[in-house]
Structure 1
């Protein structure tokens, strides 16, 4: 990191520390003057005050994830899951991967310890957004960033299917929307927690909110988390640092300005890069221990994410609102990696070759999104409209360090990670420089065709441009303009039940080219959905049953025997007809005042143009359930538990005589939790996962294979101010 970058990082961290100190001083002042503090009496705070927007439920009354129109989950004509802060706390979901691995219809695998890839309906999830504004995917995997910490988010929304209206370019899988916490409290509130868990893991968090002036028109919030610990994998360890600060100011009765900054740094050591060899050189399967790790003592993969944002909201008359969101996001990676390839001899353990990689990666993204929304009258009925414009500029660079000759691996069957670190060059060479610009105009309307019938229709016009200079794929530039439609029809049978049908699109530009050197047209994703949704107990419980048919056209297929005009690069042609069909069932919310629950079941079948099964490493059927219950007569105790089940899957893994099939049977993972509230402010919580200590593979389509984590437990103490 250069000196300018260091100064910017320090400035951001100093700002966060200053905000935290200010909140602490506000707290002391309030506690010193409050009657409760003078009398030494405890005081019960309302749960909403503790975390601003937080709800104690597993659902939310409204969301704008699909169209920017604020709709109930029942009126949203797509498959939607909302993971609230209460559920994040109950299940101890500390990372985005923890969250997504418990979401209906979403599964994950990993190339190695750091590169996690998420899928929905058989397609890779690439699209993420903060408060609805799209951001670039992970530097490491081109998928949603599973390493992000959940401490700074109020909730996480997962909208499945094609989401091109708001996402721009991407796949017809899903979009992950992170809703940040805000400073809504007009008195000092907050909480702090300390947890210890398996493999010497410990974690501390703090979340403080307070007014920064006398009337509370300016408020601040500071969130921090620190975690470090080991792993079930040999030698692997991780340290994670999180800091977030936001100031929300009422500039007038109709205008609110939010300014914030977040910092997340992950420092894993002895990371893997790819997976271990699966077969001996005679074709026999190698029975590795669950914790076997191919890494060296010196390998690492550090990642830092920083975001600064401004969010302005202004309410006009007649229910209209203007919102302007601007952000600058920085991602930095620093890695020294080790990999082995080949097949060891059963007797000597020899036969593997080493490969190392040392690089620094960086991404920079600027975003601006402006939109207005509100009601209008037409044909004697009231309707709603949103119109907006968005733009982003993203640049990713990678610099690689050359290395000297590598030592032989030796007997890999006795591997312990003690491998000499090679000498890397002092200076790096530019390997990749990619610039991507996106802009778009979008509009959507919710039209009241009749009292029970609503039509949601919209479109987005997108412009996409890419400039690439890469030592592996070459130098090229291409751009595309694309209009994607959005349409949904919702019919309410009564206040509880409604039916819907929707059609959505998304497009994904690709780098593959034809024999003439021309780029293939973008891959086009189309999602058709029909379903029934329910809104129960005045919106405290939501249910849905969705049938979907998702298709991809213009998918690249290798043009065997043909190359580009350079005579070396593989040529491709476009193929239509990749198709995923299936169903998703979900129930989430409050079954009673003391009973929260989330249940999801999903199934998909992904086929190619010729009817062949695609991505067989992904389990076709998933079942997710988790529930908590506060015991009557013992109000201090809440108990809960859940189960995640996935169907059998299989993958082809490289072997000495070609790809060999590896099967994974169905898997059931059980979890439990218990929370005891000693006082209205203090509580102790226990979480345990994979109770049956199930040993199973996580497969992917690139010959990577590893064992998932065994049974684990975490004990947490939380104190609320």
Structure 2
């Protein structure tokens, strides 16, 4: 993997390398036509003009003193992306970690990412819960680093904002069909347009379906997604958007392989499945919501957004609770369980913002308030449930499938958890001088959580108060300096806070975790604004983390502290009007500054120090013998990672650095129809998407496979 980059030298080299293409050397009369062509090409580019993840209202990425990535609809289509796993795996600095075949975990800068939907903060986590497929979204925005100003409580890692597709006034339609390895079949249709003569009422509908197997034996997945959204203009200034979306998923459960008891990986093919045939997972997710927006004559905008997500999960499975004995090939203990969960997430956000004049200069301000809640109810049974000891099976021979009978489960436990968060926020952007802007912001947040056991648990309990915070202030500050028309330097400071549930010896709950991030960097626009490059350096400290009280077992002190630091560089856009590129490199080091016996060790051995992402696509010219063809190349690489620190009895499993390559051949049949052939893992590399424990979560990455996609656009 490459060495850490000297960002200052790299920026200087990039600036010098495009000096000859600078429009400053072109006569004014010759500039107009190229600028018009650039504008036309941006509609189909990997470079986003604006983003909303950092300030609700659209801003150019160079106005934001933080690392921001935007995955455009064009890039999602070019790479034939289907799921959030596909999308976030391509984002600079983001590590995707496998959970099961229906959902995963997504981390950045040493922590799990938070999630927003059209700017609405969510108390329902991104990781560990199924998300909608990408057919629902126009773009995906990621801001790395603390996002407490708009998000409230959350990790220092960053926020993913999923931005929905909206109706268009002109009639548009698209459809695709694809087929790939392991009987991977997919259909999708997207239709949008006006419903009345004055085009004040517009609608858009998306329908998609997936029916597929996997490389793992006996694994099947079926999904259907539907989305309908309406825009209605009460006037030229006021628009109401309504939407409803549903995703159903019926899947065979698979959560990775166990290991041998000594920590070594199993000597089995990548198709091996150690789970019984009756394993299954079912998800059903429904979103409904509205967005009412008014645009004032003074360029101010006010908006009210509401959303509710109802999600249910059912799973019934058996899994190893211990490693495999290498001599006998048997698993000492095998658990069986069944659970049903119902999740309700509700969120509301209202804000107003726009420009104002002060001392002869134009500035801008944003003020708002939001609320979110997450209600989780579960019931089921596992070997730890009261009266459910018969769900454990012993001495199971490792096999594909293992001989483990499907149990008749009587639910014996129930749970109910509620988390709510509210806050008011403000963001002020001051134009101190023509090239210099100062951004100041702050948020006051309230946060509460509570939990209880419920029927069918034989001993239900009253509510127990958990994490709590009142009037927690989260400040933010940053500045941007436009050194030239093409180069912006920036620096920022951001706070974080995360309420905790652990208690001190006096039974009081620990104070919230707090911390800060410093980030400095540079953003440049090259090749007549076709290509954007961002380079950054960050340093994060997270303090007040719960640390076991050595003098009082079972209690904690707020003495833990960690540090995350690193460098990133990202490139997105067009090298030429026919050559698109998206690339990112991250170097990161995480350490426990104070955490008992873990002091000095990485926060997680999962995290590699280096991540490398690249996707590029070239469309051959009309006067070329290869007219109509395109060629795409992708690569994703990472440095060494491990399952954890070694213990006296179990060695840590280490995965050396690896890179996975992808190639795509495309052909435009005519103006309507196009086809692509994707070959993934071109060189059939053997690697793991996650190194887990001795009992589960050791995931092989897919071997070489192909997907053929036929797409139509009208």
Q: Same fold (TM over 0.5)?
A: yes
The 2-side partners of 1:399 and 1:145 are apart by 17
The 2-side partners of 1:199 and 1:463 are apart by 49
For 1:456, the equivalent position in structure 2 comes to 439
For 1:615, the equivalent position in structure 2 comes to 604
The 1-side partners of 2:453 and 2:61 are apart by 44
For residue 286 of structure 1, report the CA deviation from its aligned partner.
Answer: 3.1
The 2-side partners of 1:70 and 1:639 are apart by 33
For 1:646, the equivalent position in structure 2 comes to 638
Quick check: 1:601 aligned with 2:579? no
RMSD: 2.3
For 1:290, the equivalent position in structure 2 comes to 270
For residue 328 of structure 1, report the CA deviation from its aligned partner.
Answer: 1.2
Pick aligned residue for 1:558 from 542, 548, 572? 548
For residue 653 of structure 1, report the CA deviation from its aligned partner.
Answer: 7.7
Pick aligned residue for 1:334 from 307, 314, 334? 314
Instruction: Assess if the C-alpha contact under 8 Å between 2:467 and 2:499 holds in 1.
Output: no
Instruction: Assess if the C-alpha contact under 8 Å between 2:339 and 2:379 holds in 1.
Output: yes
Greater shift, 103-112 or 83-92, is seen at 103-112
Instruction: Assess if the C-alpha contact under 8 Å between 1:615 and 1:701 holds in 2.
Output: no
Pick aligned residue for 1:348 from 312, 328, 353? 328
For residue 394 of structure 1, report the CA deviation from its aligned partner.
Answer: 1.9
Instruction: Assess if the C-alpha contact under 8 Å between 2:258 and 2:693 holds in 1.
Output: no
For 1:712, the equivalent position in structure 2 comes to 705
Quick check: 1:276 aligned with 2:257? yes
For residue 502 of structure 1, report the CA deviation from its aligned partner.
Answer: 0.3
For residue 347 of structure 1, report the CA deviation from its aligned partner.
Answer: 4.1
Deviations 1:665-690 (A, max 9, x none): 11110011122111100111111211
The 2-side partners of 1:607 and 1:536 are apart by 36
For residue 220 of structure 1, report the CA deviation from its aligned partner.
Answer: 0.5
Output the TM-score relative to the length of structure 1.
0.87
For residue 323 of structure 1, report the CA deviation from its aligned partner.
Answer: 0.7
Pick aligned residue for 2:157 from 173, 188, 191? 173
Instruction: Assess if the C-alpha contact under 8 Å between 2:294 and 2:303 holds in 1.
Output: yes
Instruction: Assess if the C-alpha contact under 8 Å between 1:362 and 1:396 holds in 2.
Output: yes
For residue 114 of structure 1, report the CA deviation from its aligned partner.
Answer: 4.2
Deviations 1:610-663 (A, max 9, x none): 4332212211101111101111224411211111111112223898x6331111
For 1:98, the equivalent position in structure 2 comes to 86
Instruction: Assess if the C-alpha contact under 8 Å between 1:604 and 1:620 holds in 2.
Output: yes
For residue 284 of structure 1, report the CA deviation from its aligned partner.
Answer: 6.0
CA distance 1:416–1:358, shift in 2 (3 Å): same
The 2-side partners of 1:511 and 1:470 are apart by 16
Pick aligned residue for 1:136 from 123, 129, 133? 123
Give unmatched runs, 5+ long, in structure 1: 1-52, 564-569
SS of alignment partner, residue 259 of structure 2: coil
The 1-side partners of 2:173 and 2:326 are apart by 58
1:221-620 alignment, distance < 5 Å: 221-269=204-252, 271-273=253-255, 275-280=256-261, 286-401=266-381, 405-406=390-391, 408=393, 412-425=397-410, 428-470=411-453, 475-481=464-470, 482-560=472-550, 562-563=552-553, 570-609=554-593, 610-620=599-609
For 1:9, the equivalent position in structure 2 comes to none
The 1-side partners of 2:666 and 2:347 are apart by 41
Instruction: Assess if the C-alpha contact under 8 Å between 2:123 and 2:419 holds in 1.
Output: no
The 1-side partners of 2:670 and 2:239 are apart by 36
The 2-side partners of 1:492 and 1:346 are apart by 63
The 1-side partners of 2:293 and 2:602 are apart by 48
Instruction: Assess if the C-alpha contact under 8 Å between 1:153 and 1:179 holds in 2.
Output: yes
Pick aligned residue for 2:618 from 609, 629, 653? 629
For residue 521 of structure 1, report the CA deviation from its aligned partner.
Answer: 1.2
Quick check: 1:194 aligned with 2:173? no
The 2-side partners of 1:707 and 1:670 are apart by 16
Instruction: Assess if the C-alpha contact under 8 Å between 2:66 and 2:143 holds in 1.
Output: yes
SS of alignment partner, residue 336 of structure 1: strand
For residue 344 of structure 1, report the CA deviation from its aligned partner.
Answer: 3.3
Deviations 1:492-537 (A, max 9, x none): 0111001000011221112111111111111123111000100234
CA distance 1:629–1:318, shift in 2 (3 Å): same
The 1-side partners of 2:413 and 2:200 are apart by 49
CA distance 1:429–1:376, shift in 2 (3 Å): farther
Greater shift, 413-422 or 303-312, is seen at 413-422
Deviations 1:25-48 (A, max 9, x none): xxxxxxxxxxxxxxxxxxxxxxxx
The 2-side partners of 1:294 and 1:54 are apart by 48
The 1-side partners of 2:45 and 2:352 are apart by 30
For residue 470 of structure 1, report the CA deviation from its aligned partner.
Answer: 4.5
The 1-side partners of 2:439 and 2:128 are apart by 28
Pick aligned residue for 1:185 from 158, 169, 180? 169
The 2-side partners of 1:462 and 1:284 are apart by 47
The 2-side partners of 1:211 and 1:587 are apart by 36
For 1:211, the equivalent position in structure 2 comes to 194
Instruction: Assess if the C-alpha contact under 8 Å between 2:124 and 2:374 holds in 1.
Output: no
SS of alignment partner, residue 252 of structure 1: coil
For residue 278 of structure 1, report the CA deviation from its aligned partner.
Answer: 1.1
CA distance 1:69–1:245, shift in 2 (3 Å): closer
The 1-side partners of 2:448 and 2:479 are apart by 33
The 2-side partners of 1:365 and 1:285 are apart by 39
CA distance 1:143–1:54, shift in 2 (3 Å): farther
CA distance 1:668–1:687, shift in 2 (3 Å): same
1:34-183 alignment, distance < 5 Å: 55-125=43-113, 127-138=114-125, 143=127, 145=129, 147-183=131-167
For 2:662, the equivalent position in structure 1 comes to 671
CA distance 1:89–1:54, shift in 2 (3 Å): farther
Deviations 1:282-317 (A, max 9, x none): 776531221222221111111121110100111112
The 1-side partners of 2:326 and 2:260 are apart by 9
CA distance 1:57–1:433, shift in 2 (3 Å): same
Give unmatched runs, 5+ long, in structure 2: 1-40, 383-387, 594-598
Quick check: 1:693 aligned with 2:693? no
CA distance 1:542–1:279, shift in 2 (3 Å): same
Deviations 1:91-111 (A, max 9, x none): 121100111111111112234
Instruction: Assess if the C-alpha contact under 8 Å between 1:157 and 1:178 holds in 2.
Output: yes
The 1-side partners of 2:59 and 2:566 are apart by 25
SS of alignment partner, residue 64 of structure 1: coil
The 2-side partners of 1:503 and 1:203 are apart by 45
Output the TM-score relative to the length of structure 2.
0.88
The 2-side partners of 1:201 and 1:65 are apart by 34
Instruction: Assess if the C-alpha contact under 8 Å between 1:54 and 1:154 holds in 2.
Output: no
